[in-house]
Structure 1
Amino acid sequence: MNGVTTTGAGGLRSMPQQDQAQRRSKLFLKTLFAILAGGTAFFVTNVLNEDDGDLWQWTMSIVLGSATLIVQLLVDFGERLEAVQESQKRRIRDMKDSLSSHHTEMRAAVDESFAKINAATELYSKVDGSVLRSDEVTRLVLGYTKVGEQGADIVKAFAEEELGRLALLMENLGNGTADCPGENHEWLIDLTKCVKRTLFATSTSVDRDFWSSEPARRYLAAQETAIKTRRVQIRRVFLVDEESEVTDSLRQLCERHHKFGIDARIAVRAQLEPTAQMNSLNDFIVFDGELCYETEPDIHVMPAKTTLKLTREHVEERINRFNVLWEATEPDHTPEPTPAPEPDGGRAVTHPAGPRRQP
Structure 2
Amino acid sequence: MSGASLGAGQNGSVRQRLGIPKLFLKIVITASAAGAGFFVSMLLHGDNNNIWQWVASIVFGSATLIVQYLVDFGERLEVVEKSQRQHNDDMKQTLNNHHSEMREAVEKSFAKINEATELFSKVDGSVLRSEEVTRLVKAYTQVGDESPGIVKSFAEEELKRLAELMEDLISGRADSSFENHEWLIDLATCVKKTLYATSTTVDRDFWSSEPAKRYLSAQEKAIKTRGVEVRRLFLVDEPEQVTEALEQLCVRQRRYGIDARIGVQSQLDPGGTVMDFIIFDGELCYETRPDNHVRPDMTMLRMKQEHVEDRVNQFNELWAATEPEHEPEPEQGSVRRRLRRVAE
Q: TM-score, normalised by structure 1?
A: 0.80
Whether 1:321 aligns to 2:323 is no
Whether 1:53 aligns to 2:49 is yes
> Separation in 2 of the partners of 1:75 and 1:211?
105
Whether 1:297 aligns to 2:293 is no
**Residues 130-279 of structure 1 correspond to what in structure 2 (within 5 A)?**
130-272=126-268, 276-279=269-272
Note closer, same or farther for the CA distance 1:68–1:227 as it changes in structure 2 (3 Å cut).
same
> Separation in 1 of the partners of 2:266 and 2:84?
102
Identify the residue that residue 278 of structure 2 maps to in structure 1. Answer: 285
The one-letter amino acid of 1:193's match is T
The one-letter amino acid of 1:206's match is V
Whether 1:307 aligns to 2:303 is no
The CA deviation string for residues 138-181 of structure 1, in whole angstroms up to 9 with x for no partner, is: 22222222222232333223222222222221111111111112
> Separation in 1 of the partners of 2:223 and 2:146?
43
The one-letter amino acid of 2:308's match is V
Query: Which one is further off, 78-87 or 31-40?
Result: 31-40
> Structure 1 regions of 5+ residues with no counterpart?
1-18, 337-359
The one-letter amino acid of 2:182's match is E
Note closer, same or farther for the CA distance 1:240–1:91 as it changes in structure 2 (3 Å cut).
same
| 1:51 shift after superposition | 6.7
The one-letter amino acid of 1:85's match is E
- 3-state SS of the aligned residue for 2:21? helix
- 3-state SS of the aligned residue for 1:281? coil
- 3-state SS of the aligned residue for 1:265? strand
| 1:321 shift after superposition | 0.7
Question: Are the equivalent residues in 2 in contact too, given 1:270–1:277 (CA < 8 A)?
Answer: no
| 1:126 shift after superposition | 2.9
| 1:52 shift after superposition | 4.3
The one-letter amino acid of 1:327's match is A
> Structure 2 regions of 5+ residues with no counterpart?
1-15, 330-344
Identify the residue that residue 88 of structure 1 maps to in structure 2. Answer: 84
Question: Are the equivalent residues in 1 in contact too, given 2:270–2:317 (CA < 8 A)?
Answer: no
> Separation in 1 of the partners of 2:37 and 2:200?
129
Note closer, same or farther for the CA distance 1:41–1:326 as it changes in structure 2 (3 Å cut).
same
Question: Are the equivalent residues in 1 in contact too, given 2:194–2:282 (CA < 8 A)?
Answer: yes
The structure 1 segments of at least 4 consecutive aligned residues displaced by more than 6 Å after TM superposition are none
> Separation in 2 of the partners of 1:145 and 1:176?
30
The CA deviation string for residues 83-127 of structure 1, in whole angstroms up to 9 with x for no partner, is: 211121122122222222333333333333333333333333333
Note closer, same or farther for the CA distance 1:195–1:38 as it changes in structure 2 (3 Å cut).
same
Question: Are the equivalent residues in 1 in contact too, given 2:194–2:228 (CA < 8 A)?
Answer: yes
> Separation in 2 of the partners of 1:283 and 1:249?
19
> Separation in 1 of the partners of 2:151 and 2:43?
106
What percentage of aligned pairs have identical amino acids?
63
Tell me how many residue pairs correspond in the alignment.
312
Note closer, same or farther for the CA distance 1:54–1:196 as it changes in structure 2 (3 Å cut).
same
- 3-state SS of the aligned residue for 1:115? helix
Question: Are the equivalent residues in 1 in contact too, given 2:277–2:287 (CA < 8 A)?
Answer: yes
- 3-state SS of the aligned residue for 1:264? strand
Question: Are the equivalent residues in 2 in contact too, given 1:294–1:306 (CA < 8 A)?
Answer: yes
Note closer, same or farther for the CA distance 1:298–1:42 as it changes in structure 2 (3 Å cut).
closer
| 1:132 shift after superposition | 1.9
The one-letter amino acid of 1:155's match is V
| 1:335 shift after superposition | 5.1
> Separation in 2 of the partners of 1:30 and 1:182?
96
The CA deviation string for residues 188-228 of structure 1, in whole angstroms up to 9 with x for no partner, is: 11101100111111111222222222211111111111111
Note closer, same or farther for the CA distance 1:50–1:298 as it changes in structure 2 (3 Å cut).
closer
> Separation in 2 of the partners of 1:231 and 1:97?
73
Query: Which one is further off, 323-332 or 159-168?
Result: 159-168
Question: Are the equivalent residues in 1 in contact too, given 2:206–2:212 (CA < 8 A)?
Answer: yes
Note closer, same or farther for the CA distance 1:45–1:277 as it changes in structure 2 (3 Å cut).
closer
> Separation in 2 of the partners of 1:224 and 1:50?
139
Determine which of 57, 69, 75 is the counterpart of 2:71: 75
The one-letter amino acid of 1:119's match is E
Q: TM-score, normalised by structure 2?
A: 0.83
> Separation in 1 of the partners of 2:290 and 2:225?
34
Question: Are the equivalent residues in 1 in contact too, given 2:234–2:263 (CA < 8 A)?
Answer: yes
Identify the residue that residue 124 of structure 1 maps to in structure 2. Answer: 120
